[in-house]
Structure 1
Amino acid sequence: MINFKSGLILLATAVVLFTSCVAPKNITYFEDLPDSLKEAETVSVPFKNPLIKPDDLLFINIQTLDPEANVLFSAVNTTVAAVGANSNSMAGNQVTSGLLVDKDGCIILPVVGKIKVEGYTTQQARDSIKSRIDKYYTQSTVDVRYNNFKITVIGEVNHPSTFVVPNEEVTVLDALGMAGDLTIYGRRENVLLIRKDTGDIRKFIRLNLNSKDLVSSPYYFLKQGDVLYVEPNKAKAYTLDSYRTRNYAIAASVLSLLIVIATRVK
């Protein structure tokens, strides 16, 4: 039989175990993939080019055989301040240049005037602009790209910030990588994607980083203005809970008392 002293020691051990933090679970990406595969597993990754919308900042490079026209067209990319971060996760104000799409979804270029670009991909916008330029100049070349394609990552990541990226093909994993990856307290199975839809409508989508199905999701590729929020897991909440802190203090006092009693009982 267990004597009184041994019982107190067992009780003290139970108190310590009860107040210890539980090891976080679900911290591995794509944990439903087997450890070894006989053949590489492939999935179809859907990607749709983003469509231009009002308030997008476009960098438009137009070149013709007329040097004076080239100077005129280059002046459309005015310098503006953009809040964000670079690829090295250095947050702050950035100075960039481009042509802002107005509330009507149009841009205004010298000589050719107003051009509708809302709802176009950058490729379609380029073709539309070139067709207008070709009415006035021969052998023109046109390049159109986003200059404010920004993604925001907040919550349980190492470097939360808004990131301005130089291309349109940005994935969830790209964004998390720019943010320094999730902390040990981030809920990988329940990352929240907030996306602005038509008008003022917002979509809220839950993403599971533990599942390989993430890469075949229609939300794997991010869009301009997307926000990723990584929720804290229970372990983080446990450490921040004032009631838990109070319980630790009580448990420590009880443990000290039990140890004193155990050392005095023969």
Structure 2
Amino acid sequence: MRNICLRNLCLLLPIFIVSVGLFSCSAPKNVKYFQDIPDSGQLKTIAKAEFIEPTIQVDDILTILVQTVDPQATVSINSGNLPIQNSISPVGSGSQGGQISSGYLVNKEGFVDVPILGHIKLVGLTTSQAKEVIAKEANKNYKDATVIVRFANFKFSVTGEVAKPGVYVSANERTSILDAISLAGDLTIFGKRENVLLVRENLDGTKTPVRLNLNKSEIMTSPYYYLRQNDLIYIEPNKSKVASTDASKARSYTIIAAALSVIIVLISRIR
């Protein structure tokens, strides 16, 4: 009987040790942003990132408003900012379909068709430059017209290890990568903060990838700190996520092995 107990103990001990190793986890590292900024004492001043105005691209939607002394005179122009359906549905946002943007669509040739003002080419211009071009056309028909031009669909994507991955639309063209991450519900505990991938779409359709480190405050001075339309932010999983996935599979094998060991022990006792 004693020999049977010893044999059973020898069978179960390795399984117990493996199980403890698999179910235990180490504390994740590098989860704090801006680790080079001290917690107390003299805090350093961080230089301002250069903001470069984004340029208008094909398929952008622009809000165009023309204001004059007589509000009724420009009703046909301002009412042309009709709702346009976008195929944008952020994951986890509760959206049941595409988001609605109101404005004028930049067609494939880079033009917008504005009532009274006509066919105006805006592709490649900033909103400030577009404002001047439209104001020039507006003043041919109106006296002292004031023009407002804004992006209605300044969109970017955030995917990977964030709480709410998806495509987002900002009402402000001065949107930073930190703003985007906040909209996506922040990184999960498994997100790689030191190696964030940003993919930028150029005017000619090519892509420019760049790596950014959220653990360093220098990101706030980076030329990629402020986003542009159609930017993609990808948060890679860290080693802890990979390890936890592997551990989940290994736990299944451990449970099966433990069950087999119990069966072997029961058979041994019956014999």
TM-score where L is the length of structure 1? 0.83
* Corresponding residue of 1:160: 165
Q: How does 1:34-49 map to 2 (within 5 A)?
A: 34-49=38-53
Q: Secondary structure at the match of 1:61?
A: strand
Instruction: Give the Å deviation of 1:179.
Output: 0.8
Equivalent position amino acid for 1:205 in 2: V
After superposition, the Cα gap between the structure-2 partners of 1:252 and 1:193, relative to the gap in structure 1 and judged at 3 Å, is farther
Which of the residues 177, 182, 189 maps onto 1:172?
177
User: CA offsets per residue over residues 18-49 of structure 1, 9 Å max, x none?
Assistant: 32222211100011222224144222311111
Structure 2 gaps of 5+ residues are 1-9, 266-271
After superposition, the Cα gap between the structure-2 partners of 1:90 and 1:124, relative to the gap in structure 1 and judged at 3 Å, is farther
* Corresponding residue of 1:95: 100
User: Alignment identity in percent?
Assistant: 42
| Larger mean Cα displacement after TM superposition, 102-111 or 62-71 | 62-71
The CA distance in 2 between the partners of 1:204 and 1:244, in whole Å, is: 35
* Corresponding residue of 1:201: 206
TM-score where L is the length of structure 2? 0.81
The CA distance in 2 between the partners of 1:34 and 1:251, in whole Å, is: 49
The CA distance in 2 between the partners of 1:55 and 1:65, in whole Å, is: 32
* Corresponding residue of 1:4: none
Q: How does 1:229-244 map to 2 (within 5 A)?
A: 229-241=234-246, 243-244=249-250
Instruction: Give the Å deviation of 1:247.
Output: 5.6
User: CA offsets per residue over residues 68-108 of structure 1, 9 Å max, x none?
Assistant: 4312112321221124469x944342222110011121112
8 A contact 1:79–1:98 mirrored in 2: yes
Q: Secondary structure at the match of 1:175?
A: helix
Instruction: Give the Å deviation of 1:222.
Output: 0.7
Equivalent position amino acid for 1:245 in 2: R
After superposition, the Cα gap between the structure-2 partners of 1:110 and 1:200, relative to the gap in structure 1 and judged at 3 Å, is same
Which of the residues 211, 228, 251 maps onto 1:245?
251
Structure 1 gaps of 5+ residues are 1-7, 261-266
Q: Does 1:18 align with 2:6?
A: no
Q: How does 1:71-110 map to 2 (within 5 A)?
A: 71-84=75-88, 89-92=93-96, 93-110=98-115
Note the aligned Cα RMSD (angstroms): 2.9
Equivalent position amino acid for 1:226 in 2: D
After superposition, the Cα gap between the structure-2 partners of 1:129 and 1:228, relative to the gap in structure 1 and judged at 3 Å, is same
The CA distance in 2 between the partners of 1:52 and 1:35, in whole Å, is: 42
The CA distance in 1 between the partners of 2:40 and 2:191, in whole Å, is: 26
After superposition, the Cα gap between the structure-2 partners of 1:214 and 1:13, relative to the gap in structure 1 and judged at 3 Å, is farther
How many pairs does the alignment contain? 251
After superposition, the Cα gap between the structure-2 partners of 1:49 and 1:155, relative to the gap in structure 1 and judged at 3 Å, is same
Instruction: Give the Å deviation of 1:13.
Output: 8.4
Which of the residues 31, 35, 50 maps onto 2:35?
31
User: CA offsets per residue over residues 148-191 of structure 1, 9 Å max, x none?
Assistant: 01121111111112111111011111011011111111111111
* Corresponding residue of 1:50: 54
The CA distance in 2 between the partners of 1:138 and 1:85, in whole Å, is: 42
Q: Secondary structure at the match of 1:91?
A: coil
The CA distance in 2 between the partners of 1:53 and 1:181, in whole Å, is: 29
Equivalent position amino acid for 2:163 in 1: N
